[in-house]
Structure 1
């Protein structure tokens, strides 16, 4: 019996095309068929390498985790390292389109677990309990992930409104005095900004630092 030959393509090319497609179409429109079209191949060819979309997403998630790990800070005090790590994670999520959603949709495997372990190692020298360490690192990591998802959703909403000719529509804010005042001051422009990201992660780290101080005093 003649053995079937593996198609002339690679996992790397499939994953590279996946990122390109996610950038142009978003995760909602992503299908194996559209990916095959992007690669100029038949859809069944992809299944030689990835049996379904979930397995492909898993591979993409692992790639993102490895990229993050590579650039994590290796020295410094815990707060400085967690702050720099949050910035690294955010930049990598920007580099790989829809990667925040993909990480959420994927099962934690060795690369993801190594990433989380790296973050836990940063706070390990403190006198926090293991429960606190796990909880606080989870909060910080989830903040970065969901900030990236919020940025994506805001961008997609804006594009949708533009397509529907509603991008310039204004809502009457006169009945909401505080919101109107802040809107007029341009504060709504902070949504999704680097400044708001930095203030959010700083707020989390302030809270963790307070717990670290309390634990060192034996008050927890």
Structure 2
């Protein structure tokens, strides 16, 4: 490792990390590739981040902080959770592979503050603490996993487009319902705002039913 502080900043490393994640995806992210992106030796990066996991943790914390800054402060519990889901999805889409980063990192102060703020939205309800924790976790996990699935779908489309001359069509004739829905164009819902919103609405409807019955 260098004995003197290298001529590069933590901010540059973080910026290059986001660019590398956007260009190559998290599955190809290595400290070696990051050093090439920055045109420095790998030990230079380790001056600031002792491992890739530490760097992932830093990026995950930054995303959590970005989400916190935009979470709604007004409205009833349902309105705030609905808007929060949209905010979280938007932020995760803005920062490449950030859904995966949150999954790969342990919860630290920024993430815990974000979760605390989400919990506070259900605090005025008559739900038990166990219900508040459980339902808020379901909402957050739904959003994160939806964004990760969006990423996987986009990644899948790249080789399909590159091999557009090859037959990539799946024979749906044995699957009558799927065949009918494919013919109706319903498959286009995958990764769409409509599908995301319907999932959130389903979760919130279930929570609201329990609030009303409490």
Using the size of structure 2 for normalisation, the TM-score is 0.97
Contact 1:101 1:149 in 2 (8 A): yes
Matching of residue 117 in structure 1 with residue 123 in structure 2: no
Residue 161 of structure 1: aligned partner: 160
Consecutive unaligned residues of structure 2, counting only runs of 5 or more, are: none
Residue 53 of structure 1: aligned partner: 52
Contact 1:158 1:167 in 2 (8 A): no
Residue 77 of structure 2: aligned partner: 78
Q: Could you list the structure 1 runs, at least 4 aligned residues long, displaced by more than 4 angstroms after superposition.
A: 164-168
Q: Distance between the aligned counterparts of 1:128 and 1:143, measured in 2?
A: 20
Describe how 1:13-52 pairs up with structure 2 within 5 A. 13-52=12-51
Q: Distance between the aligned counterparts of 1:55 and 1:168, measured in 2?
A: 43
Residue 93 of structure 1: aligned partner: 92
Consecutive unaligned residues of structure 1, counting only runs of 5 or more, are: 216-220
Q: Distance between the aligned counterparts of 1:87 and 1:46, measured in 2?
A: 34
Describe how 1:170-189 pairs up with structure 2 within 5 A. 170-189=169-188
> For the structure 1 residues 196 and 127, does the alpha-carbon distance in structure 2 shift closer, same or farther, using more than 3 Å as the test?
same
Aligned length: 213
Residue 104 of structure 1: aligned partner: 103
Using the size of structure 1 for normalisation, the TM-score is 0.94
RMSD: 1.3
